[in-house]
Amino acid sequence: MKDDNCIFCKLANGDIPTRSIYEDDMFKVIMDAAPATKGHCLILPKDHAANLYELPDETAGAAMILAKKLATKMTKRLHADGFNLVQNNGEVAGQTVFHFHLHLIPRYNDDKNGDKLCWNHEEFTDEQMDEIHELLVKDSTPTFTPEEGDVYAALAKKALETYVREKKIITDEAELPAELLSRKAPCFVSLFVDGQLRGCVGSAWATRPAIAWEIMEFAVTAGTYDVRCEPIKEEELSKVVYRVDVIGDMVEVDGPETLDHKKYGVVVSDGVAQGLVLPDMPEIEDVQHQLETAQSQAEIMPGTPVSIHRFEVERHEG
């Protein structure tokens, strides 16, 4: 939550104008108004936490992933000779604004601070700050800002459009939202054009280090290699609706009585093969149809004893 009395909350949430070099659902990264060196920036969480001790583990992990991504980019763009990550907690440790923030400080052989962590502020004019800001943001891949909608669906869209238009797979972490690099979870990506399913690919178990990689792989595969559907053509990209379903825990059930095809997905298995159907799919009419479809996908013969697991999904659309 935002603290209305916190200046960093106001900066992170856009209430006060500032030079920003990155923004996603969790963070805003701004240029420090009293920089230690050229390019000195701050990572600010949008939700208030006074210090590291109050910061949720998920946010702390995402902050470090983002710091790595930006430090790599800034070092290249600014031709820095080194880099400091500085994070203070408590007045005695040098904290002066009590909202968690992580300093990104490019270091140069000729900067004024030598090997010190307690820096002397360098003076830059507004024009110089604007030039540095432009250097950091120019030719950047557009970030996943809240205005673009759901970040999960936005990443699926970016992956498929990049592949269809440029025949390229995104491999650079610097192009990916930090929150999806800090989360590991299984998912499915479904694509719809004019209300018709045009591809659905995924896994009930996480197979990659972060969900970002799962989403991109499944979006490209669903749009170009799902043998049940025609591949998405470039002229259709503007009409594609993207759905990313993050798979929840599997719960074994005794039969169809506890199922609801709108609420739950199902996995049907004979111990060797298994079929999965997501919840609330437009072509699925009822629970019996959902179970039959899952069994058919796994090529399990009718009448074969099977186990049934249900699961809920965290659905993202855009």
Q: Which residue numbers are catalytic?
A: 101
Query: How crowded is residue 206: how many other Cβ atoms within 10 Å of its Cβ?
Result: 17
The two three-digit tokens of residue 169, written as one number: 């797979």
Residue linked to tokens 């120019």: 138
Tokens found for residue 171: 């491999």
Residues in a beta bridge with 314: 246
Parallel/antiparallel/unpaired status of strands 196-202 and 27-31:
unpaired
Calculate helix-pair angle for 126-137, 57-78, nearest 10 degrees. 100
Question: Which sign, positive or negative, has the C-alpha torsion 146, 150, 151, 153?
Answer: negative
Tokens of residue 130, six digits: 């604007």
Q: Within 13 Å of residue 53, how many CA atoms lie on the same side as its CB?
A: 5
Separation CA 245–CA 230 (nearest Å)? 22
Residue 261 CA to residue 281 CA, distance in Å, equals 8
Burial label for 8, CB within 10 Å (0-12, 13-18, 19+), is buried
E strand or H helix that includes residue 180: helix 178-181
Host H or E run for residue 21: strand 20-23
Distance (Å, whole) CA 60 – CA 182: 9
Contact partners, residue 91, CB within 8 Å, separation at least 6: none
Structure tokens at 42: 């701050």
CA pair distance 137, 31, nearest whole angstrom: 11
